[in-house]
Structure 1
Amino acid sequence: MKILDVLQLFLSNKAVASIFHEIDGYHPDGLKAHQFETKTLLGPFLRISPLLISIAAFNYTDGITKSQIRSIDESLQAEHNMSVNRLFSLCDKLVRAGGAAREAFLKLLADIVNKNHLRRGSHADPRKNASDSFMINLSLILVKFAQPFLATLNPKMLEKIDIHYLSQRNKLLDLTEETKINSTIQEYDENYTDDKLTDKPLNFISDCFYLLLAYIHYGIGGIYISADRVKSGVKQLTEQLKKVEDMLQKAGSQAQTNPLMKMMIETKVNPLKKELHNLKAMKCAIEMFATNRNTQLEVFDIIIGSVTFFMKLVDPTHKYPSAPLQIPLRNMDDDVDKLDDIEYLRSISPVPFKYYPEMFIEGIVNYCHYISRYNNNPMFQNEEKLNKFVEFSITILRCPELVSNPHLKARLTEVLFFGSLPLQNGRDGYMMDIFNNNTKVKKNLMISLLDFYVMVEKTGASSQFYDKFNTRYHISFILEQLWKFDFFKDDLKRIAQKLQTFFVRLIARMLNDTTYLLDESLNHLHIIGSCQREIASRANGNPPSNDDSDEDLQAKLADSERIAKSFVQLTNKTILLFNLFTEETPRSFTIVEIVDRLAGMLNYNLVALVGPKYNELKVKDPEAYQFKPSELLFQLSSIFINLSNEQPFVDAVARDQRSFDPECFKRAIKILYKVGKVPGPEFETKLIGFVERAEQVQKEDEEEEMELGDIPDDFLDPLMYTLMKDPVKLPHSKISMDRSVLKAHLMNDPTDPFNRTPLKLEDVDDDVELKEKIQAFIKERKAALKQDKDGDVVMK
């Protein structure tokens, strides 16, 4: 570090600092991404930190305890803070030296980040990119440069950031390949043609701000990829090393004398141990950086300054933060067609915000997503700044025209999820006070979460079918925590009553999830139980009862265990949500589009839990899969009770010929009494009373069916094969079907069910002629039946 002392001494002379960039090697042309830290004058100084793998391996030796690691962390954090301060002081002298020196320094930083975009790639080769140590140091230096105009949240300082950065011809950042926040590349190119660009130079604050955003994404952001790679590498190397050591152990004493064995130890075992040690040390170093609260508080201050700028940018009045931002920017709550129309949302997205590179927002979201996993992260006990971040999150979720990327929104909801997790001392999560006390957040939180619960259905990824479940789990957990406060219960009622189309769409998605998750969960639990019993039987010397080999059996068991652990947990949360919602707003669940599917789902799963095959769900250690059959049975029974006073639901349960079984309800009560889950006698009274009413409806339906006799096929709905009451004709396929069945179909698939052409309910026509024929048929059959009965009376 003596060389650094000398360099600082030289640069303290402003005349020297002003021409330092002219020295050969300051910024050579044609450097590759990984060469800047070794082949530039400043690179070797700027790369030194505890995150260098050689330094990490030296500091975190094998065999150290957790308490020793904590002690080492504290020492290295203090050392790293001091080192970054010295490096910043050096760079500050170059910036303050004047125009040419400042411009050269900024161009160097820009060239480094422009060539290190691959650091964020999931398959990034660390040997071909700048090190975490180098990029983190540069990011932290920019953080310090930005503190005067971002950390203070001074509106006058924010105004100095040029919002027309994209129109700058000579901007430092290469944004040509960057995905835009909410516009296509073609739309961007049309709006930023060469003749529309300006040569007006940017001020230092603007250059510094946009460089900082790039470094938050590609600099600090690269460490998240490294953390995942290191974690995976430790696991793989540990397994490899164990296999080799097991082989050597079997060889016994020969391993010490056999030359081949010695060579194996020297050429394979020792390198594996060294590489494993390096990865474990790197893991410790990354965690040391992430838990450095002083550093992370500085970064988070800048994050909040950045989101404040973006809130100002999307504010139609551009007065934020001097005046509050009113959300939603456009109210589309009950116009679900607009909420689902990507092109429309892009057309109303604010300019120039929509054209900004997505990585400006992504870097901010990724940072908060990563850091929120750590105890004592910079959001914790930092309420003033945290309020700003939560407001930003709700704004992004509440206004679908702002950000189109569902993965970004999913990460935002996960940050809110971490903030809602109860603390170890039993207190509410550290964001809960904000959820309940910040007026803007409180007013918009419920509808924002419910809207994204629906919108996350389509992420655009090949894994979108499964991606949605994790996000919906996080949302469900947050909603469960909000249920402690009456305001949010009332807000749900308001949404259900005033925004019926919006709410119906939500319930349809919840129903789809629950149907799939419950079915898959119970199916995999059945496989687990079957495999466990077969493995135990074979272990006792019994012959195999199926053709699976022992290896196949273990593989099948492991696969179903992996799926069950995820799906059962998701099922529990979705069923809980149904219970909470049906208790508060039962009538909303009786609309024709969903009531039959809801009744069928509940009946089917009640039979699965208490019916003839319930023993097939028995598994060893059900808690390992979060499977609590008695709790699930209680939740299902509670949903029946919540809806028991709604006649359309009673009718729907009775119509379910596939699964409705009154005996299952009686068995459910006995089981719930046995496990102590019945809260009081009223619970049983309500459930049994509901079943009796459903039985009566079923009996009446059967009698009516017998009265009508054979119904002509033309009068039956082509999907459900039930007598149509309100037939409509589809415009493309020209097929008639019952309006209620079509409504239920369109909730999940907005197409003609017979030829897949796009279809909306308003496109169909009433089939008046068919309806008159059906009514005449019913009238004729009932008249004939009455005549038969009257004849019987006369005969008697």
Structure 2
Amino acid sequence: MVLECEDTLKSLIAVGRNGLLHRSLEQWGCFSLLLKLLLRLSTVLWKGWETLSMMVCCLVSILCSTTSSRWYQLVDNQIVQDCTERFESMCKYTVIYSFKMRRRRLARLAGGQTSQPSTPISTPLTSPQRETPPGPLPGPSGAAPQPVPPAASQSLGLNVHSGTPATSPMGTSGVAYGSQSSEGVSSLSSSPSNSLETQSQSLSRSQSMDIDPASCEKSMSQVDVDSGIENMEVEDSDRREKRNLTEKETSTNSDVSEEQALQLICKILRVSWKEQDRDVIFLPSLAAEFHQNPKDVYSDFKDLIGQILMEVLMMSTQSRVHNPFASLTATSQPIAAAKSPDHRLTLVQPSSQGGSPMGPNAGSFGASSLSSLGACGGGMSCDSASDRFTIEACKETEMLNYLIERFDSVGMEERKAPKMCSQPNVSQLLSNIRSQCISHVALVLQGTLTQPRSPLQQSLLVPYMLCRNLPYGFIQELVRITHQEEEVFRQIFIPILHGLALAVKECSFDSDNFKFPLMALAELCEIKFGKTHPVCNLVTSLPLWCPKPLSPGCGREIQRLSYLGAFFGLSVFAEDDTKVGDKYFSGPAITMENTRVVSQSLQHYLESARGDLFKVLHNILLNGETRDLALNYMAALVNYNVKKAQMQTDDKLVSTDGFMLNFLWVLQQLSMKIKLETVDPHYIFHPRCRLVVSLEETRLKATMEELKSWLTELHEDPTKFSEPKFPTECFFLTLHTHHLSILPGCRRYIRRLRAIRELNRTVEELKNSETQWKDSPLASRHREMLKRCKTQLKKLVRAKACADVGLLDENLLRRCLQFYSTVIQLILRMVDPAYPNISLPLNPEIPKSFAALPEFYIEDVAEFLLFVVQYSPQVLYEPCVQDIVTFLVVFICSQNYIRNPYLIAKLVEVLFVTNPAVQPRTQRFSEMMENHPLSVKQLVPALMKFYTDVEHTGATSEFYDKFTIRYHISTIFKSLWQNIAHHGTFMEEFNSGKQFVRYINMLINDTTFLLDESLESLKRIHEVQEEMKNKEQWDQLPREQQQSRQSQLTQDERVSRSYLALATETVEMFHILTKQVQKPFLRPELGPRLAAMLNFNLQQLCGPKCRDLKVENPEKYGFEPKKLLDQLTDIYLQLDCARFAKAIADDQRSYSRELFEEVISKMRKAGIKSSIAIEKFKLLSEKVEEIVAKNSQSEMDYGDAPDEFKDPLMDTLMTDPVMLPSGNIMDRSIILRHLLNSPTDPFNRQPLTESMLESVPELKERIHAWMREKQGGRPA
């Protein structure tokens, strides 16, 4: 018998090679030929099956080749090999189960589940076999039957197992589904709980795709165990018995009869095997089977559903003339039409479509559905180069449209008749329809029914997901059915993931299309079964989940190459995406109001996109299997972008600002609910810390040597470290991401504003000087420069508007402020575990863990506050601000805890910019700072100390830096002085002596330098302006000299403005202090210097050369000579006493009687002071003149003093000699004045303090005796 079967099959193969088989079958209608052959083969012993199975597979391959001659030209062995490639593991199972089941259709390929092979009582479930009648089957219009579908076994009656990988919903992994009994097959969707369990059992049976004797023998033995080889009578008997049992159960358990169930199936699937109609798809093959033997068509409803769906899909696959979906158009309301979010989805029509039913045919269901998608889709416009939002016009799309709408019809039916659908059998039936639709969708997506799709191709399902057209639960069901078979799951969902990534790369915030790929990915990642998120597992298994760096630009690499990089890369910044600025912030119609509204809309877009990004990453972190991979990816983003924090960095080597801010937003959400008690502050020193913190990173207090020593000691005992927990890792990832995202963005924003100001100034200068250069040879060059500047200015203004959206988002800034508040709490707990009950001063012994922290932990807080106060001060009205105030006060008052004085200066600058005199909108913050319990007693002394300490910072720019810092402190002092709570502290400092004396000395130094420099610059400005007024003389100057003078004028104007602002503040501080306290200013080491400074500046304002200070628009530079004269003369009057009068008289460089007379004249003429004040000043002048006369006599008396009585530095007579450690003797007042500026011995530069000075009483007595002698010998 085996030999006879082999001969018959060989003859059929030969006929197929000659291209006669299909034509013969069509003309003769002799499908029964193969049927009888296979029925005979089913009785053959299994030992001969190996050869026969190979031949049957060859025959099936021939039947599938309707257009190609490829299969006709191969030898027998090559045919078998090609069959294996075409149908993958189909060859392994096809013949085995076709012999086992006599009358099954190929439609059962997608239905059913496998039971465990160890269950001997279960019999494989197969599709009902349909014996094809001898004559031709009636077509939809009485035409001849259509060509045989790819899986020709269906039409030929081959009993192919329903789980054949070629057409299984689980794809090509070789998993057989249908090895359950009829009762077992319906259990797949009986309930969510057992369906998942059953699915897991069936999907675990992954098998090889190769056909080899061993695998065939294993499969044959399995069939033998399952009693699959039976004669025809036995199987018919089993089928009838099973069918009767099903009918009894239906009649006893439900009021829904079998006929009603069939009607419901036909209604939902919109099919019929009884009659043809324009509203349904007629199924000729199933009609023939029902006509011939209705009882044997199906074993249960799920079997029937599978047969229906497979026949519909096969008809669509093989139809060349008639579209099986054409009859649905009349009443079809495609799901796409109701759910598409946009109106710009396009339908891609292949150029070689020809007469395909997918062409623009009004009677085609496929065309109708896609037309509705084109009208209501949610994708790119039709002129876009991208096809990510378009639905491809192909046969697979027709199938998907049908299956998706049938899936949705189940839900519609449930909503229409909830009571009926709640009945157990009806609910089970609807569940079967859903699962069968999904199973067949899986087949379509794998290309099993048409052509296998390349993994690099975008999934056909992606456009539906982007357009939001899929019914509720569709994707979840697809994941549920496929995720337990890894290979199939990857085959279906990797193209989907790639398609979403490609789609989002072509999106921008210039439309709302960006949200669809993000929402689709977020929904995929949210799907979970038990504690497992299958899509999260798949995403993190991708090769490009976290690619290793290949070049120095690893930051930009991970953004461009990693899978999530495309999603996080969405940005509104002009540097990242010019489309946003070009669309929303260009054109003459842009107004402030329009810009505000557009900015709010774009910020809403950003919030929406970031929300979906959070969902994605959050679900990956929730999934236990992927949490570690997610943390590795997050740490890589931080570690690869460390260069982004540098002041000067190549932007091409690091991730973009938009990318990092999106990542920051997600981390902020993850850190929001972290309790500080769960965070380990020593994490960055942990051996398993994911973050890379270089040893060269500047630390708060520790030097590099101290850091290395402490870390070595720390790592000697690994037991000191506990396993890092997620809250700790997430917290520090967020902290470091702030350092690499918001802060670089703020710096770039400030640089852009500076560039805009410079360009504006250049444009204004070119415009204002146009009369000078328009007729010159350089006119064309200047015009071109003006044009370039204007163009660049427009680009920068547009970029600023985009940055306003991305960076000045109040919600983002508030979250940053809240997080920094948490960081502050952590740091304060490290320095004082009693926090929030912290007290000052702090412990002199600085904790090593605090000393070793990176400096940017505190610096970033200060920089962020400076930015917020300047550009978004309303953000400071948050409950967390109290912690920030405490933080500022504690570290300004604990300067020994921070090694870098410029870091303290930044904290002081925060107090300065929040001062109401600088930023009125931060008055509440300033009041909180002034009234803080710690600041009332500690802030003034600390600021006064820092005012003097900043004289020497160690930086090359320390000389100029100190003026700005002291200006900030002076402004703060003025504000604090107005607060009564601080008066007591000020008076204590005024009377304490040394600290306040040093402060006054620095104040004198600064005032002297600043007034001198600012007044000198005004003189130069006056000189150039006078030259330019004389046009004739100016035009005679060479052009190079003119340009040089103009350049010098611009520089002097800038210097004058800066120095005058600083000088005015210091003079005002003098004015306030001398009004409250006079004694410290009259000390021997201070009084003469203060008087000399005041005399010099009076000479500048009222002396012979005061006319040189007259400039055009003096208010432009902040020069107010009347106010300055008023304040200087007030200081004279507030210090009026004999000692101060003597100090004035001792100044021989600037003082003169004529000067004071001129001052009195100007004050009286300009009405600067009242007559009473002028009289007081006149009396002071008379006192000074008397002392001057006495000084002249003293000079005559003491002019011949011995050298040992004179100070070696100043060459003046000593009155209180002291000995230095070096052995030199100096006058006390002179050395103390020197120590105020430099605490060193002036002779050897060794450290020197006042306590190291020793009085020389013997020498002092000799000096005074000599002076008395001189006075006694004076002629009367």
TM range (shorter): 0.7 to 0.9
Name the SS of the counterpart of 2:1272 in structure 1. helix
Query: Is 1:36 aligned to 2:558, yes or no?
Result: yes
How far off is 1:400 after superposition?
0.8
Question: SS of 1:737's equivalent?
Answer: strand
- TM-score scaled to structure 1, two decimals? 0.86
Q: Does 1:356 align with 2:877?
A: no
Which of 955, 959, 967 is residue 465 of structure 1 equivalent to? 959
1:5 is aligned to 519
Q: Can you list the C-alpha shifts for 1:513-561, whole angstroms capped at 9, x where unaligned?
A: 1111111111111111112112212x14479799993223222222211
Go from structure 1 to structure 2 and tell me whether the alpha carbon gap of 1:273 and 1:778 turns closer, same or farther (over 3 Å shift).
closer
- Distance in 1 between the 2:1033 and 2:1059 partners? 34
Q: Distance in 1 between matches of 2:1271 and 2:1040?
A: 59
1:670, distance to aligned residue in structure 2 (A): 3.2
Correspondence 1:620 to 2:1112: yes
Counterpart secondary structure, 1:41 = coil
Residue pairs, 1:319-718, within 5 angstroms: 319-321=834-836, 324-329=837-842, 348-379=845-876, 381-382=877-878, 384-422=879-917, 429-498=923-992, 500-537=993-1030, 539-541=1031-1033, 549-645=1041-1137, 647-678=1138-1169, 680-718=1170-1208
Offset of residue 375 of structure 1: 4.2
After TM superposition, the structure 1 = structure 2 runs for residues 300-315 of structure 1, keeping only pairs within 5 Å, are: 300-315=817-832
CA deviation map 1:6-53 (0-9, x unaligned): 322221123323564222211111251111211001111012132333
Q: Which residue of 1 aligns with 2:1259?
A: 770
Cα distance between partner residues in 2 of 1:19 and 1:170: 26
CA RMSD of aligned residues (A): 3.2
Distance 1:508 1:595 in 2: 10
The worse-fitting range, judged by mean Cα deviation, of 59-68 and 523-532 is 59-68
Q: Is residue 143 of structure 2 the alignment partner of residue 143 of structure 1? A: no
In structure 2, distance between residues paired with 1:530 and 1:164:
63
Match of 2:643 among 118, 124, 134: 118
Runs of 4+ in 1 over 4 A off after TM superposition: 196-199, 232-246, 268-278, 540-548
In structure 1, which of residues 77, 83, 87 is the aligned counterpart of residue 613 of structure 2?
Answer: 87
Are the aligned partners of 2:1085 and 2:1230 in contact in 1 as well (CA < 8 Å)? Answer: yes
Cα deviation 1:370-389 (Å, max 9, x = unaligned): 1211144411x33x322321
Would the aligned equivalents of 1:534 and 1:544 in 2 still touch at CA under 8 Å? no
Q: What letter is aligned with 2:908?
A: T
Q: How much does 1:301 deviate?
A: 1.2
How far apart, CA to CA, are the structure 2 residues paired with 1:505 and 1:403? 22
* Displacement of 1:693: 2.4
Comparing 468-477 and 453-462, the one that deviates more: 453-462
Which whole-Å deviations, capped at 9, do the CAs of 1:618-650 have from their partners, x for residues lacking one? 1111111101011111111111111114x4322
Q: CA deviation at 1:448?
A: 3.0
Displacement of 1:395:
1.0
Amino acid at match of 1:348: E
Bigger shift: residues 740-749 or 210-219 = 210-219
Identity %: 30
Does 24-33 or 514-523 show the bigger shift? 24-33
SS, match of residue 1226 in structure 2: strand
Pair 527,240 (structure 1): closer, same or farther in 2 beyond 3 Å: closer
Displacement of 1:755 in angstroms is 3.2
Which residue of 1 is the match for residue 1210 of structure 2? Answer: 720
1:230 Cα deviation after fit: 3.2
Looking at structure 2, the residues matched to 289 and 225 of structure 1 have their Cα atoms a distance apart, in angstroms, of: 14
Corresponding position: 1:133 with 2:658: yes
Alignment match, 2:743: 221
SS at match of 1:728: strand
Preserved contact between residue 641 and residue 655 of structure 2 (Cα < 8 Å): yes
* Alpha-carbon contact 1:216-1:364 (below 8 Å) kept: no
Report the alpha carbon displacement of residue 569 of structure 1 after superposing the two structures with TM: 0.6
Structure 1 stretch displaced more, 15-24 or 626-635: 15-24
Q: Which amino acid in the other structure matches residue 28 of structure 1?
A: P
Paired residue for 1:180? Answer: 699
* AA in 1 matched with 2:1150: S
In structure 2, the partner of 1:160 is 678
Q: Look up the equivalent residue of 1:11 and give its one-letter code.
A: C
Report the CA distance between 1:70 and its aligned residue.
1.4
Any gaps of 5 or more consecutive residues in structure 1? 150-156, 331-346, 790-796
Once the two structures are TM-superposed, the CA of residue 673 in structure 1 deviates from its matched residue by 3.5
Give the superposition deviation at 1:573: 0.2
User: How many Å separate the matches in 2 of 1:6 and 1:546?
Assistant: 70
Q: Deviations over 1:224-273 (max 9, x none)?
A: 23224434555677899999999xx989xxx9xxxx99xx99xx999998
The separation in 1 between residues aligned to 2:559 and 2:893, in whole angstroms, is 43
Change in Cα spacing, 1:664 to 1:183, as seen in structure 2 (3 Å) is same
Aligned to 2:733: 211
TM-score (norm 2): 0.55
Deviation of the 1:196 alpha carbon: 4.4
SS, match of residue 71 in structure 1: helix
Tell me how far 1:578 sits from its aligned partner: 0.8
Do 2:859 and 2:906's aligned partners in 1 also have CA atoms closer than 8 Å? Answer: no
Given that 2:1164 and 2:1171 are in contact with CA atoms closer than 8 Å, whether structure 1 keeps it comes out as no
Per the alignment, in what secondary structure is the counterpart of residue 372 of structure 1? helix
Residue in 1 that maps onto 2:577: 53
Amino acid at match of 1:374: Y
2:895 alignment partner, SS class = coil
Counterparts of 1:238 and 1:479 in 2: how far apart (Å)? 35
2:1017 and 2:681 map into 1 onto residues whose CA distance is 54
Residue 83 of structure 1: how far off its partner (Å): 1.8
- Residue identity in the other structure for 2:708: D
Cα drift, residue 574 of structure 1: 0.5
- Deviation per CA, 1:200-236, whole angstroms, max 9, x where unpaired? 3211111112112211111211102322443455567
Q: Which moved more, 1:518-527 or 1:662-671?
A: 662-671
| Contact map agreement 1:49 1:55 (CA 8 A) in 2 | no
> 2:874 touches 2:921 (CA, 8 Å); kept in 1?
no
User: Which of 93, 97, 100 is residue 623 of structure 2 equivalent to?
Assistant: 97
Residues 435, 445 of structure 1: 8 Å contact kept: no
Contact 1:653–1:660 (CA<8 Å) still a contact in 2?
Answer: yes
Indicate the SS of the match to 1:192. Answer: helix
Q: How far 1:667 sits from its partner (Å)?
A: 2.8
Unpaired stretches in structure 2, ≥5 consecutive residues: 1-514
* More displaced 10-residue stretch of structure 1: 101-110 or 481-490: 481-490
Kindly report which structure 2 residues correspond to 1:271-290, keeping only aligned pairs within 5 A, or say none. 278-290=795-807
Contact 2:1008 2:1093 in 1 (8 A): yes
Q: Is the 8 A contact 1:62 1:277 kept in 2?
A: no
CA contact (8 A) 2:1218 2:1254 kept: yes
Tell me the residue number matched to 2:812: 295
Cα distance change on mapping 1:55 and 1:204 into 2, 3 Å: farther
Match of 1:784 in 2: 1273
Q: Could you say what secondary structure the match of 1:395 adopts?
A: helix
* Residue equivalent to 1:71: 597
Task: Determine if contact 2:916/2:922 at 8 Å carries over to the other structure.
Answer: yes
CA distance 1:685–1:355, change in 2 (3 Å)? same
Q: 1:238 to 1:137 in 2, by over 3 A?
A: same
Given that residues 582 and 639 in structure 1 are in contact (C-alpha distance below 8 angstroms), is that contact kept between their aligned partners in structure 2?
yes
Judge which range, 188-197 or 514-523, deviates more.
188-197
1:669 Cα offset (Å): 3.3
Q: What letter matches 1:758 in structure 2?
A: P
Give 2:1221's aligned residue. Answer: 731
